Amino acid sequence: MSVPRGRRPGGPDTRAAILSSARASFAASGFGGTTIRGVASSAGVDPALVHHYFGSKDDLFLAALEIPVDPRQAMLPVVAGGVEGAGERLLRVFLDIWDAESSRLPLLAIVRGVFEPSGQRLLRDGFLRMVLAPLGRELGVDEPERRMVLVASQLVGLVMLRYVLAVEPLASMPADEVVASYAPTLQRYLEGPLR
Amino acid sequence: MSVPRGRRPGGPDTRAAILSSARASFAASGFGGTTIRGVASSAGVDPALVHHYFGSKDDLFLAALEIPVDPRQAMLPVVAGGVEGAGERLLRVFLDIWDAESSRLPLLAIVRGVFEPSGQRLLRDGFLRMVLAPLGRELGVDEPERRMVLVASQLVGLVMLRYVLAVEPLASMPADEVVASYAPTLQRYLEGPLR
């Protein structure tokens, strides 16, 4: 059996090897410092195979995070309605994902990295760069970076108090009440005056 | 030299021994599970000596946290003006403390415990029970627990994005702009409709 030029053939092991290299590279170098070519090289495969299995670098990044939700798909209904009511729609999508144990547990594993440089890169690249920044641009808000970091700060704080510290009455609050409490905040961050 | 009934005499070592026992007890058992008597016993001193050095259990808890600010003192100007404008005053006090490196570093050490049970107890007991809950009661807001956990969620998220993840433009934003961005949020959590 010959393996041409030392490269791995396709198959489940190859897919796993690519994912493992990708995770190591994203954690060590962040999204910006990771290349498909570099991931392919350390997995011993051709770059075309990485594209074949995972698509773009964004797709590879999401696959490496191992979350059971594609946040880009999840944001579609938030964007679709325009900026009006976007705060409420964003909260509903966010709570649907976090209230389901199947997605909360892997997301909590990512959040736990918040005090380590590699985890911080994942959070900035994953949550801010791939989810919130595109949402701000697609909603067409002015000063999207400034507005989306305010949105992020409230969502991260909600995660910390509701899911990590589990402080009552927030931890057991029905999703509708959480939405009613926070939606006006997110809406003001999206389109209200900031100064 | 005789030490009556095996108890330590007063002095700097005694003070340090009491603090060390107190830290161990608060971390293991939380605020509610810690008693002055238990701390005294494990430090080998009389309970009266703990009171003599540290005052109340609240005072002992704050001393054990080793933060260079007494948050109860810091909240006085926030309470003094009543609920009107309290969101803005709370933010100014909060930023004064967090923007100063001398207080930010010990506070960050506490925040780093957010994923461990002992650290979670410190955050709930220290930040929520000793700082925010009394503030809500003294401002006379209705449903203080519900309102103060919303306030806490925004303040914790601000800490995470500005000081831990250091995401721009929030990390370098002048305090006045941070206040302008977040004060209306806190004010609504303090006195606005929640449902």
pLDDT at A7 over 70: no
Contact B164 A124 (CB under 8 A): no
Residues B32 and B106 in one domain: no
Return left, alpha or beta for A174; rule: phi > 0 is left, psi -120 to 50 is alpha, else beta. beta
Q: Which tens digits make up the pLDDT trace of B122-166?
A: 788 878 888 898 999 999 999 999 999 999 999 999 999 999 999
Residues A76 and A60 in one domain: no
Contact A154 B185 (CB under 8 A): yes
Q: B181: domain CATH number? A: 1.10.357.10
CA of B98 vs chain A CAs: smallest distance (Å): 16
B37 — contact with chain A (CB < 8 Å)?
no
How far apart CA A84 and CA A76 sit, in angstroms, is 15
A1 — contact with chain B (CB < 8 Å)?
no
- Could you tell me which chain A residue has the CA closest to the CA of B185? A185
Residues A137 and A118 in one domain: yes
- CB-defined contacts A:B, below 8 A: 107
Residues B47 and B81 in one domain: no
pLDDT computed for residue B9 by the predictor:
60
- Indicate the DSSP class of residue B141: -
Average pLDDT, integer, range A28-41: 89
pLDDT computed for residue A3 by the predictor:
43
How far apart CA B170 and CA B160 sit, in angstroms, is 11
Q: Which tens digits make up the pLDDT trace of A51-108?
A: 999 999 988 988 888 877 888 889 999 999 899 999 999 999 999 999 998 889 888 8
Confidence (pTM): 0.86
A146 — contact with chain B (CB < 8 Å)?
yes
Q: What is the ipTM of this complex?
A: 0.86
pLDDT computed for residue A160 by the predictor:
95
Percent helix, strand, coil in chain B, to 5, is 75, 0, 25
Q: Which tens digits make up the pLDDT trace of A100-144?
A: 988 898 888 888 888 888 788 878 887 888 889 899 999 999 999
Residues B75 and B171 in one domain: yes
User: Which residues 6+ apart lie within 8 Å of A3 measured at CB?
Assistant: A9
Residues B58 and B88 in one domain: no
What's the total number of domains in chain A? 2
pLDDT computed for residue B103 by the predictor:
87
A112 — contact with chain B (CB < 8 Å)?
yes
The pLDDT-based confidence of A2 (bands split at 50, 70, 90) is very low
pLDDT computed for residue B72 by the predictor:
84
pLDDT computed for residue A96 by the predictor:
94
pLDDT at A5 over 90: no
Residues A28 and A81 in one domain: no
CA of B9 vs chain A CAs: smallest distance (Å): 40
B56 — contact with chain A (CB < 8 Å)?
no
The residue with greater pLDDT, A1 or B90, is B90
Structure tokens that stand for A77 in this block: 């209904």
Supply the range of the domain harboring residue B183.
71-191
The pLDDT-based confidence of B8 (bands split at 50, 70, 90) is low
pLDDT computed for residue B95 by the predictor:
97
Structure tokens that stand for B61 in this block: 């808890």
Residues B61 and B78 in one domain: no
